[in-house]
Amino acid sequence: MDNLSEVKRPGPHKVRKYAIAAVISAGVFVLFMMLWYYVPAAGSNEAAYCARCHAMTPEYLTWQQSSHAQFQCKDCHRESGMQNFLSYQGRIIGNIFYPGARDTGKNGDAGSESGMAAVPDSACLGCHSENRSYSPSSDTVVPHEKHRKAGVRCATCHAGVAHGRIVERGMTDKVSPDEWNQALAKEQMDFKYTTPRMAVCLDCHGKRQVTEKCSVCHSQQIVPASHKSGGFERDHGRMAQDDFKPCNLCHSYSLTKPVDLLELNVRDYIKTNSFCFNCHLQKPSTHKDENFGKIHAELTKTRGIENCFGCHDLNENKNPQERGPVNKVYCNSCHWFE
């Protein structure tokens, strides 16, 4: 007891200091919580709140020109639930203190998995039904329910619906926020930028080994007379060797990169067109013959060696960016052609 009585107690002036420090700390904490929660909550329900950020001007203006202009940013970019709400508020605060960190991603607008740009399927299904099969804006037949069951996200196809894929297309890098206006935004929200792209459809179908026949996705078809002949699938390669440029009139949508048709040969063209190479990467019936190793020389004579180059390279190209989507089997792994 004597020892306890000898313990020194802080003087009144120290107690006052501690009390002041505690009050200040509590005030800072309350202020922080207000900034982190109340201030964003009070304004972030409106799209105009996002537009306060200088770097978000392109997204705000394109949203105003979109078919979803009646909805607010939070309706698509914020999932339900307290955890998602707090995460959303945290990102908004981050944009307040560091507006240069625009959370839009690089893989497309709605389709990006990065931060604010990620739009969950639940946001879409809050208004749209997955039972829809036909599109009122075109002849496209899309069984949404099948795509959902296959794990295809809404934003995979509809990435441009609210912002015209301006990030993916590099428009936010080419044009500074100060230069954006309603006229430019309207131009960037053209139908060709907002509608699902056929190249995405074909690329996905090719990778999943799903049919790419036009009739599967289109209720109306305009097919050239040459395509209706019984031997077209077998002979179209020779026709393309004579002149492949007419092919590009319909199949330009599936090009993986811009090309100069005047400087390109058919061999290189089909390796830059997903419609072509997704089919060509599948082994043809002639290759399934158990005697193919013996008869393939005769096939090159009757059908032309150029047909081989539709899938195979002459020599091994170890640079994947230059090699493109070609078969790993190359001619000079067995031969010595120059």
Could you tell me which of 138, 94, 143 has the C-alpha nearest to residue 116?
Answer: 94
pLDDT tens digits, one per residue of 128-179: 888 877 666 677 888 898 899 999 999 999 999 999 999 988 999 999 999 9
Task: Identify whether residues 177 and 264 lie together within a single domain.
Answer: no
Distance between CA atoms of 173 and 201, rounded to whole angstroms?
27
Could you tell me which of 210, 188, 201, 126 has the C-alpha nearest to residue 158?
Answer: 201
Task: Identify whether residues 70 and 154 lie together within a single domain.
Answer: yes
What was the pLDDT predicted at 166?
A: 93
Q: Is 95 helix (H, G, I), strand (E, B) or coil?
A: helix
Could you tell me which of 284, 336, 300 has the C-alpha nearest to residue 315?
Answer: 336
Distance between CA atoms of 150 and 145, rounded to whole angstroms?
9
- Whole-angstrom CA distances from 226 to 40, 186, 235 are 61, 39, 10
The yes-or-no verdict on residue 115 having pLDDT over 80 is no
Length of the chain: 338
Is the residue at 91 inside a domain?
yes
| CATH number of the domain encompassing residue 64 | 1.10.3820
Q: For 132-225, where are the alpha helices, taking DSSP H only?
A: 144-149, 154-157, 171-174, 182-188, 191-194, 198-207, 214-217
Question: To the nearest 10°, the Cα dihedral for 329, 334, 336, 338?
Answer: -10
Task: Identify whether residues 191 and 290 lie together within a single domain.
Answer: no
Number of Cα atoms under 13 Å in the Cβ half of residue 138: 12
Task: Identify whether residues 159 and 280 lie together within a single domain.
Answer: no
Task: Identify whether residues 167 and 81 lie together within a single domain.
Answer: yes
Using an 8 Å Cβ cutoff, are 100 and 55 in contact? yes
Q: Which residues pair with 134 in a beta bridge?
A: 141
Is the residue at 214 inside a domain?
no
Instruction: Quote the tokens at residue 144.
Output: 């949404």
Is the residue at 121 inside a domain?
yes
Task: Identify whether residues 156 and 59 lie together within a single domain.
Answer: yes
Mean pLDDT in residue range 92-110: 52
Is the residue at 94 inside a domain?
yes
Is the residue at 17 inside a domain?
no
Instruction: Quote the tokens at residue 119.
Output: 């739009």
Is the residue at 82 inside a domain?
yes
What was the pLDDT predicted at 111?
A: 43
Q: How confident is the model at residue 184 (pLDDT cuts 50, 70, 90)?
A: very high
Could you tell me which of 169, 254, 244, 153 has the C-alpha nearest to residue 206?
Answer: 254
Task: Identify whether residues 180 and 72 lie together within a single domain.
Answer: yes
Amino acid type, 233: E
Using an 8 Å Cβ cutoff, are 207 and 278 in contact? yes
User: 305-330 burial string, b = 16+ CB within 10 Å, else e?
Assistant: eebbbbbbbeeeeeeeeeebbbeeeb
Q: Cα Rg for the chain, rounded, in angstroms?
A: 30
Q: How confident is the model at residue 116 (pLDDT cuts 50, 70, 90)?
A: very low
Could you tell me which of 294, 297, 301, 286 has the C-alpha nearest to residue 234?
Answer: 286
Could you tell me which of 63, 154, 76 has the C-alpha nearest to residue 117?
Answer: 76
Number of Cα atoms under 13 Å in the Cβ half of residue 302: 8
Is the residue at 39 inside a domain?
no
Task: Identify whether residues 74 and 184 lie together within a single domain.
Answer: yes
Task: Identify whether residues 145 and 264 lie together within a single domain.
Answer: no
Task: Identify whether residues 284 and 162 lie together within a single domain.
Answer: no
By the 10 Å C-beta count (0-12 exposed, 13-18 middle, 19+ buried), 282 is classed as exposed
What was the pLDDT predicted at 136?
A: 65
What was the pLDDT predicted at 62?
A: 95
Task: Identify whether residues 117 and 243 lie together within a single domain.
Answer: no
Domain boundaries, position 150? 44-196
Is the residue at 316 inside a domain?
yes
pLDDT tens digits, one per residue of 276-323: 887 877 777 888 888 888 888 888 888 777 778 777 777 877 665 555
User: What does pTM read for this prediction?
Assistant: 0.59
CA–CA–CA angle 124, 177, 117 (5° rounding) = 25
For the chain, what is the domain count? 2
Task: Identify whether residues 171 and 250 lie together within a single domain.
Answer: no
CA–CA–CA angle 189, 192, 198 (5° rounding) = 140
